[in-house]
Amino acid sequence: MTGAGISENLRIAREKIKAAQNISGVPDVKLIGITKTRTPSDVAKLIIAGCHEIGENRVQEWQEKLPQVISELKIQGFTGKFTSHLVGHLQSNKARRAILDFDMIQSLDSLELAERLGRVAEEENKTPYPCLIQVKLGEEKTKSGIAEGLLMQDFERFIDVKGIGIMGLMLIAPLWAVGEDARPYFHEMRDIFEYLKIQKDDRFEMRYLSMGMSSDFDIAVEEGANMVRIGRALFDGFNSL
């Protein structure tokens, strides 16, 4: 994909987001460009095109690509900044690498992982390290995330973990829920988010609701998302969906 093609896809994505904002009234939406399996050159093109929030699924893949991305940006004369988000499942033994290489972890899915991240963040002097709790709606057994009931049961324990800062929630809709079929899950997630948001407590901040991907990000924004994760549409075009 050429830089011009990525720029055009990014423009279309932002237009769709803006149209969805007119429906939901959500004032600001962060677009996270998902770059899993993409080359460092492609990632650099996306950043230069104006997408300065990058999402990766695997710690090791980003660890290998990050120096090459930075080198490519320097060659292209890019002098701005970008931030990175881990959006895939994180194993506890890779917590330190994730803390060092990512600016936010969106896939916090257990108390054990929260405690591990908190300890590492304190050791690396990166506190409070921003995290989103990944919530699982639906019955997919293989999908990471915390079931709604367990989230409500353990939320106090999450926000008591030292070293991390809970900044919101993240949802990946069930694999079969594409397009309009995902709307009920987005709606339910927004209700959970709003319920927690009105709980006044200095130990956490419900700032971000991350949901929606290439096939349904506009529907997610219509239902209240203020952070969307778009990959394939930015690199392969909206006709590929």
Angle between helix 148-160 and helix 183-197 axes, rounded to 10 deg: 40
pLDDT of residue 224: 98
pLDDT of residue 178: 80
171 in Cβ contact with 134 (< 8 Å): yes
pLDDT digits (tens, 9 = 90+) for 98-140: 999 999 999 999 999 999 999 999 999 999 999 999 999 977 6
pLDDT of residue 144: 83
> What is the helix (H) or strand (E) element at residue 111, kind and residue range?
helix 111-123
Amino acid identity of residue 211, one-letter, is M
227 SS3 class: strand
Q: How far apart are CA 101 and CA 152, in angstroms?
A: 30
Question: What contacts 5, CB < 8 A, 6 or more positions away?
Answer: 237
171 in Cβ contact with 95 (< 8 Å): no
Count, residues in the chain? 241
- CATH code of the domain in which 41 resides: 3.20.20.10
Positions in the chain whose pLDDT score sits under 70:
1, 3, 140-142
The total domain count for the chain is 1
Structural domain including 22 reads 3-240
pLDDT of residue 3: 67
The strand pair at 30-34 and 53-56 is best described as parallel
**Token duo for residue 7:** 């720029």
